[in-house]
Structure 1
Amino acid sequence: MRSLVLIGHGSHLNPDSAQAVYHYAELIRQAGVFSEVIEGYWKEEPSLRQVLRTTRYSDVTVIPMFISEGYFTETVIPRELNLGHSGPVPVQGITRQLGGKTVRYTLPYGVHPRMTDVILARAHEAFPEFNPEDTGLLIIGHGTTRNQNSNRVIYQNRDRIRERGLFKEVHALFLDEDPKVDTWETLFTTRNVIMVPFFTAEGWHTRETIPEDLGLTGQVTEFENHSVHYGLPVGTHPMVTDVILDMARDAWHNTSASGEPSPEQEAAWDTFLHLARQGMRLGEVLIRHDVGLFTLQHMLDEGKDQLQVFVAPESIRDLVRMSDAGEYRPVHTFRNLPRGWKGVFNEADFRRAISYVYPSVLEDTYLYQKGALRVTPWISTARRQTGIYARVQQATLKDVDVVSKKICGFCLKSRLWYGEQLYQTFLDGVPGNIPCVEACTYVISEVREHVAQKASKTSPSGAV
């Protein structure tokens, strides 16, 4: 009985940002190694502050779905998970006892030695018939000046591949630090150059930034002295699934913990299941139970025919990420749940479907009612922020109120972290009553933007 949590960055703006984590979570579920696989995000839901509360078992392995060590894996994720750690993560990972659970936090998957083989697999895909005597390999990393460990894995893979002697030349270049990727022509003497992006997923950088900066026109681009073969990012290769499983097994070997159902999580589910069998509303969702099956649909679609029927939780997950107007829903309790659908599930799939429609709402509400979920006031949240988000510490309470009213007024949750009161919840039969015990990352981001705009207006130069 083990839980696996895959942590991604996520985005408030781009719905595609989470797709790679979803993809690998599905593959690992199919492998059947874990009793459950859950996704968690920095910028989406369930958030890092919530995700451990949603795990069903007391044995939890957390793997950051990042390509390298850096600010997020060493500072943000440990802080938000309350691991009591900051700085480089040891090879054996970090093990903590949190809320009755054994939580093991590993290095990011991108630093695993088998990622060298993933790079080579992408290179062979890009140019299957290459001649080692006249072919070079370029590994493209993102790079950052914020953390010196970020580029280490790129150089390690470069050196491993050089030692194998598979290419005449092997180099590593970066987008955001020196040596920059646009200097590649000064390094290579080979006619053929294979370029492999060491990125987690297809996205803006791999589809736009790199091709535009380098003048690439497709999978193969002819230059005066070189033929460039542009590969897919390493993070989307199927071999990554094996890398993740290897990391999880290594983490297990470093502890003698054995998993069992989490009492709090099971109690929350049993309480909710009892109400769901009777029929209930949760937020904008109407829940019915008949002949062993649960149905979910928008409350305004009650009694309507010709609804699109879904039977897979993943279909519901993808559906509710967008509104009927085509707007991305980074906060799932926004009051713009799409209409025109119905989900029909057995009990096991119903549990997952609910977690996709309203991530962590059930667990948080149950614990709040039991007095086991502490409300975190804004000032505490602001003090916890680092990096570019430390700016929110300059916000006044009036700033926070102005920003959060615009966002939270469109949300089903009540701002307990800002002093609003909530005496009953949906577990008491009041459908829209959902507690919000801490400002979400969306509010934090918008407060930061608000503070930056105020600063630009008061600055003589207009610069922030």
Structure 2
Amino acid sequence: MSTALVLAGHGSHISPETAGIVWGYVDALRRMGVAEEVTAAFWKEQPEFAQVLGTLMAETIVVVPLFTATGFYTNKVIPAAMGLDGPVTQRGNRTIHYTPALGTHPMLDDIVTRRVKDAMQAYDLLPQQTAVAIIGHGTRRSETTRLTTQNQAETVRRAGLAAQVVDAYLDDDPDIPSIYQRTEAQNLVVVPYFLASGSHVTYDVPRALGLPDDEMTAQVQGRHVYYTAPIGTADVILQVILELARATGVSFEINEAPLWYGMPRVGAAALVQAVLLKNAQQRGAVQFGQLRLTPNVVHPVGSSDAYVFITPNQLRSHIRENPFRPLATSDDLPRDWVVPIDDVQQIPAIVETVYPGALAEWANHYAQAATITPLTEVVSRHEGMFHHLTQATESMVNQLVATMCGRCVKVPLWHATTDLTANSGSLPCLSPCNTFLSRSKEALINEG
């Protein structure tokens, strides 16, 4: 029986690190060969929560939510988007396991405690002169989100590492500035209980603390403040992921795998066949989005071939981070690279790295097996988060689509029937993406 592992993260429209750390775990788990398919899914990036299960061929799938707390996203958003019934969902001959959030695992206690100990040792701080603050995200949409951060604060408190230990939240009460009123010690060690050095850790939390830009230590309100790294940068996170996945009863044995192994497999065989057929008939290339695919090489249309990449993480970092491209299918794909092909079976893996989730939709569309999800259904799925769009008239939606979707290589089939053959390289878009929903919501709010 084939297995797949999905790491569900938040992603970001602002910072590459938020999803980048998740992709790092995916790359490591693929090289460990723990499952036939290993991938990520995101709220803010591609592939999205609602899209990812359709990219996998495995009969047994384990979804691990990489969130630091059980709350709105783990209890509401992910299950609704993926159609999950609870810890185990049976869908035909497929079984989908949904684990607790990463942040609820006891091993996270050790990481937080280690962050505090390392800071106190590095700066030679005395416990009786030090206070500790554990910063969680929090949300007013869920009362349970704060519990994990509160538990971490209690663990540090019981360890007797500091004179005072408090919890505070970026998007809930007690807020971050209140730390200065709730503690008195001369030294303040602050641990951001986040998985990655994304925009929250890099900008939002430090600014709420009053730290100067790019500074980890500073004098703030007469106190010595020491800001640590987030908890998700520790190597032990991989072990936590595997422990959560194995607790479902599914075996994830380590067996070192080659590069480009472990990618989602839906559409892979169809794409290889299309490339080989095109090459045999015309000695030409298949265009997929802004990619040219041949049996010997993959590169963007009009590529200058300045950089040669041989690993998924090298390629992903180059096309995603400089500058940051939160929408993988935006039409500004860097054109200065090439990936040489040793085996035609690498082609789908390269495409999946450039356009996560797009291959399955492409294959299903041309096999006439695609399911199109209209805007109204997607909006209703998300618990009122995009309720502004329910008030949009047809002409307003038309304008939003023209504005938001014009710079994407996907054609919004969920909005209007379009012949993709008229658009060389264009890919099917079967459902409104979060980028469209979020930007449209902002536009409607700004219009009043």
Say whether the fold is shared (TM-score over 0.5): yes
Q: Which residue of 2 aligns with 1:106?
A: 99
CA distance in 2, matches of 1:329, 1:208: 19
Q: Which amino acid aligns with 2:359?
A: L
Residue 308 of structure 1 deviates from its aligned partner by 1.9
Asked if the contact 1:67–1:235 (Cα under 8 Å) also holds between the matched residues in 2, the reply is no
> What is aligned with 1:203?
198
CA deviation vs aligned residue, 1:12-36 (integer Å, no higher than 9, x gap): 3433331121222223334333333
Name 2:301's counterpart in structure 1.
299
Contact 1:399–1:447, Cα closer than 8 Å, also in 2: no
Alignment counterpart, residue 179 of structure 1, candidates 174, 180, 186 = 174
Distance 1:372 1:238, change over 3 A: same
TM-score, normalised on structure 1?
0.83
Distance 1:399 1:246, change over 3 A: same
1:260 maps to which residue? none
Residue 145 of structure 1 aligns to a residue whose secondary structure is coil
Q: State percent identity of aligned pairs.
A: 29
In structure 1, distance between residues paired with 2:225 and 2:426? 57
Instruction: Please report how far the alpha carbon of residue 61 of structure 1 lies from its aligned counterpart in structure 2 after TM superposition.
Output: 1.0
**Residues matched between the structures, number:** 424
CA distance in 1, matches of 2:266, 2:172: 50
Mapping of residues 335-374 of structure 1, within 5 Å: 335-347=331-343, 349-374=346-371
Give the aligned residue type for 1:300.
G
Pair 1:423–1:208, CA change in 2 (3 A)? closer
Q: Which residue of 2 aligns with 1:280?
A: 286
**CA deviation vs aligned residue, 1:203-253 (integer Å, no higher than 9, x gap):** 333333333333335444356875433211112222222211111111226
Q: Give, in whole Å, the separation in 2 of the partners of 1:373 and 1:18.
A: 27
What whole-Å deviation, never above 9, does each CA across 1:60-117 have from its counterpart, x for those lacking one? 11111111122111111111111146xxxxxxxx111236422111121011111111
Query: Are the equivalent residues in 1 in contact too, given 2:54–2:266 (CA < 8 A)?
Result: no
1:164 aligned residue = 159
Q: Does residue 64 in structure 1 map to residue 65 in structure 2?
A: yes
Gaps of 5+ in 2: 252-263, 280-284
* 1:22–1:267 Cα change, 3 Å: closer
How far apart are 1:349 and its partner, in Å?
4.2
* Alpha-carbon distance in structure 2 between the residues aligned to 1:31 and 1:315: 18
1:459 is aligned to none
What is the CA-CA distance between 1:424 and the residue it aligns to? Answer: 5.4
Change (3 A) 1:14 1:267: closer
| SS of match in other structure, 1:247 | helix
- Aligned mate of 1:396, from 387, 393, 398: 393
Look up the match of 1:436: 429
Task: For 1:413 and 1:97, locate their aligned partners in 2 and report how far apart those are by CA, in whole Å.
Answer: 31
Partner of 2:114: 121
What's the Cα RMSD here? Answer: 2.7
1:223 & 1:381 partners in 2: Cα distance?
45
Match of 1:262 in 2: none
Summarize the Cα distance change of 1:448–1:99 in structure 2 as closer, same or farther, 3 Å threshold: farther
Aligned to 1:96: 89
- In the alignment, is the contact (CA less than 8 A) between 1:143 and 1:175 conserved in 2? yes
Q: Using the TM superposition, give the Cα deviation of residue 266 of structure 1 relative to its aligned residue in structure 2, in angstroms.
A: 5.3
Amino acid at match of 2:69: S
In the alignment, the residues of structure 2 paired with residue 299 and residue 99 of structure 1 have an alpha-carbon distance, to the nearest angstrom, of 41
Give, in whole Å, the separation in 2 of the partners of 1:163 and 1:49.
Answer: 41
Partner of 2:11: 10
SS at match of 1:205: helix
Distance 2:445 2:53 in 1: 32
Question: Structure 1 residue 276: deviation in Å?
Answer: 2.0
C-alpha distance in structure 1 between counterparts of 2:266 and 2:250, whole Å: 30
The answer on whether the counterparts of 1:14 and 1:328 sit within 8 Å (CA) in structure 2 is yes
Does structure 1 residue 334 correspond to structure 2 residue 335?
A: no
Higher relative contact order (CA 8 A, sep 6+): 2
**Which ranges in structure 1 are unaligned for 5 or more consecutive residues?**
86-93, 255-264, 457-464
Q: Distance in 1 between matches of 2:114 and 2:325?
A: 36
